[in-house]
Amino acid sequence: MDNMVDHPRKGETENMDMNTDTTTSAPTVTGIAHHTAGVNGTALHYVSAGTEGSPVLLVHGFPETWWAFHKLIPLLAGRHRVFAVDLRGFGDSANDGDDFSSATAAEDLHRLIAHLGVGPVHLAAQDISGSAVFRLAATHPEDVISLTATEMGLAGFGLEGFADVTHGGSWHIGVLAAPGIADLLFTGRERELLGTWAFPSMTAVPGAIGEEDLDEFARTYARPGGWRGAVGLYRSMLAEGDELRELATSHPLRMPVLAVGGFGGPFTEATMRQVTEGEVTSVLLEGVGHYVAMEAPDALARAITEFLERVDRDAGPVGSQPGRSWQW
């Protein structure tokens, strides 16, 4: 595993107080390099693979980190330069401070794309990261050439319903959103929580999430403040519905969108059609649970690759459109 520290552009690390040591105890994956970027007042850990092709930025959900894509990355890296980030407060990214909102996560991603110098990117995200990537794509369309949304909802468009336990919603949303409760209940029980409830309850493919996966996810959630990223995104989810509806009205998405459904069926497609004026392509993967990238990496890679090939072909050669100039 290659570990390295990126040197941020001038001004990016002003007033920063962070540790940029990229050494982790994560399992080694051949061909994947680890980096830390100082952006927007924090330190974001991300991985990269591939040396050519249009860039892809993968953004995880909950209870995940970049590791959710460790099977998918090699499948995409033969044709694309691939990046996968740990959002602020998740994984090996910094978790100091007290702002882990979706708006801040969106700005982090915007700054990261600028730091990498690879924009616009094919943005591919899942689950609770939906609000952050929607904010990014809506407010910085110059950063995003396409959006792949996997098992994703948005506040203001039905996602809040999953917090209503009286109508089949999940208890974990309220627990994470309540101040201090996640640390009180989950500290020291991270692997038990992930291994006996979080993953089994929404996984349909036996053996798709193994002991090594559980160890890796638990490793980072067990660090001090390890739940802060998730707490911030779920608090945002319960408060930002009106704001996201207004954003969808004033800044609807116009880039091509791929909606991928597994456990949630057509929910992702229905959500994306409400916030998109452009093309929405839908793929439903039968027999797959919520954690699509780990349960069906080959099928997901095929869907993404075919979609990106078409988008790249329709977009024309690199440099033919304003802002579309990939360099590495």
pLDDT in tens, 3-44: 444 533 333 333 343 434 354 567 779 999 999 999 999 999
Average pLDDT rounded to a whole number, residues 209-231: 96
The residues spanned by each domain of the chain are 30-315
245/156 Cα distance (integer angstroms): 6
End-to-end CA distance of the chain: 20
Q: What DSSP state is assigned to residue 256?
A: -
CB 290 within 8 A of CB 176: no
Mean pLDDT over the full length of the chain: 90
- Partners of 152 in the beta sheet? none
Fold of 30-315: Rossmann fold (3.40.50)
Please give the backbone phi and psi of residue 126, each rounded to the nearest 5 degrees, phi first.
-150, 155
Comparing C-alpha atoms, which of 118, 133, 120, 113 is closest to residue 315?
120
Q: How far are the Cα atoms of 69, 132, 199, 203 from residue 27, in angstroms, in the given order?
A: 13, 27, 19, 22
Does position 322 have pLDDT exceeding 80, yes or no? Answer: no
96: confidence class by pLDDT, cuts 50, 70, 90: very high
Contacts of 107 (CB under 8 A, 6+ apart): 40
Tokens of residue 93, six digits: 């990214």
pLDDT tens digits, one per residue of 261-305:
999 999 999 999 999 998 899 999 999 999 999 999 999 999 999
Contact 101, 236 (CB under 8 A): yes
